Structure 1
Amino acid sequence: MGTVGALGPRAAALAPALREALSGPDGETVTSALDADTALAEALWHVTEDAAAVVAALDSVFARAEQNSWSQWSAVRATRTTALLGPAGRPLTSRLKTLLDNPVQVPAAVLALTAVAEPASPDRTALAATVLRPAEQEADPPGARDALEARVAALTADHLRRLSSLADGDARTIRSGVEDRVIRQDEAFRNRARALAAPFTAPTPPAP
């Protein structure tokens, strides 16, 4: 599907086949079926920008993902595709908000909510508190960092304190995985967290 999507409007002749291949609301709830429909929806968007058809397909993916306890990453993939739609994906706002209860899904959901919303509508301060949680719980620290780097959130003094704790605290933020990779990934996360906090941190005055 990625190849078809990369062709954009030049693949318009394939649009009927893409629509025909979509499962629809009665499709299977297994991960492979959900991911296939997300890929089809993304390709259809790049080829036709038919918002109504793509939104309907993604809405079906979200609805079916709720029936499968193993589908949290399928919902994340559908969320990332929703973000590509920009304001055209606004009808899926309520679907995206339901993902904010799952730390693994929060970073993608925050990015998508910001992409589809009216410029003044997201509560960016609340989003900052929400997006820090996956990092603090080791659910998706890199995703949380990416969301903050995209400036989707407004950082308060408390948010900066929490971010600084992640950057310079004694405990590792990334704690699972192969040992040498954990060390490298944790240090990379800390460095980028420090860089995020730096513009908001007043320099320490020199000692008298």
Structure 2
Amino acid sequence: MPSMLGLTTDPSPHGLNAPRTQQERFDVDDDSNQGKQLATRASHAMTRGAPDNNDTRSAQPPQQTQKPQSSPDDTKGRENTIKARSHAAAVEMEKLLWQTLCDRPSYAWRYMGKDAVMSNWPLFGDSDAREGDDLRESLEKANDENRFLSSRMGEPHVAEIGLMAVAIAYPITLFRPSGKPEADGSVRVKTVEALVSSAWRQVASGDWELASTMVA
């Protein structure tokens, strides 16, 4: 209704409380829903990467890389040490020494130091220790007396006894002729069982020389 001032008390069709048409209500609801969607997307974007407490799926453990199995050739690297080389040298030198004692005993002096000591009852006929000139003469006499046909070394045991020096002990089987050869040239063989203990040292040239050996 119009008032005295010419104003009306009827609600304005464009005011805050003005009734909205169906299309206007639809537009307002659509904007509200769109705002909620944007807020929801923004919330997910801010928390992206954070673990979901309600997620019952367990993370898969990282796959373990299988270690390559060592080939037989890889073990050679483990033996490439001073200790391993010294042990191998002692075994090799013992084999060379006995091969020489069987073929030509006087040549065994080449593998010995000047102060070497040897006690070898199967070769010398007694257990006396020999050194120096006595040892050299005994080796020369052994060329024709008490010679061996061959030898067979048992399992060796090697131990370090000093700087570049090792001791080796092992059983040995010696084969020597028994009696005169037969008419057909065959020779009877007898065996001698013994225990050997030797000491080897490496000199400045890198060669190994015998320091002492005893056959019991």
Greater share of residues in helix = 1
**Which category describes the TM-score, using the shorter chain as reference length?**
under 0.3
Q: What is the TM-score when the length of structure 2 is the normalising length?
A: 0.18
Greater share of residues in strand = 2
Larger Rg, first or second structure (1 or 2): 2
Q: What is the TM-score when the length of structure 1 is the normalising length?
A: 0.18
Higher relative contact order structure (alpha carbons within 8 Å, sequence separation ≥ 6): 2
